[in-house]
Amino acid sequence: MNKKTDPRIAILGWGSLIWDKRPEFDDKHGPWLDDGPVLKLEFSRISRSRENALTLVIDPEHGCDCTTAYAVSTRKDPDDAIADLRCREGTVMRHMGFYFANGAKTCMPSIPDTIAPWAEEKGFDVVVWTGLPGDFKDKRDEAFIEAALFHLQNLTPEGKALAATYVWRAPPLVQTTLREKLQSAPWFSPPAENQAE
């Protein structure tokens, strides 16, 4: 008799999911590893919970190829792993990305071309990620980088502090055009906890 094995489930991360610890989520996965799939990422989503700071999302139009991180879920049921991440991110199912190697389910966000071959190479049956869309360009018509810099310069002091924390704490493997511009701008200094590192 063949015993059905539990699926291997990977959770992808590239921003606060990695550094903003939340035990109710973090207790359900292993450590973050730095050789996830390459995805086009950019700070191109306005976050209401971060005082309008720009957060990292998959952005095929403005994004740069960045290696992501991943953690192995301890869940046996992929639906539980998806629910864990959805709750952690405070979003709805239509913004959840997931790839099932057997094609059992499909998600609303498009699946980046790099995920299937990465999952096969690493031996994952299911890959889960946050599929929030970028919305910054939808809200502004100017060229992306210039508009993003202007937007961030005009945030409240609290918003600027949250933006600086988010950008400076993103994993070093996530290098985008906007991050490079911000980290070289004299007005965008790292938060106090990063200056000692």
What pLDDT score was predicted for residue 41? 98
Which residues in the chain come in under a pLDDT of 50?
Answer: 1-2, 195-197
Q: What are the residues whose beta carbons fall under 8 Å from the beta carbon of 105, sequence distance 6 or more?
A: 78, 98
What pLDDT score was predicted for residue 127? 99
What pLDDT score was predicted for residue 197? 43
Q: What are the residues whose beta carbons fall under 8 Å from the beta carbon of 170, sequence distance 6 or more?
A: 14, 15, 56, 179
What's the predicted TM-score (pTM) here?
0.91
What pLDDT score was predicted for residue 193? 63
Torsion of CA 134, 136, 140, 144, to 10 degrees: -90
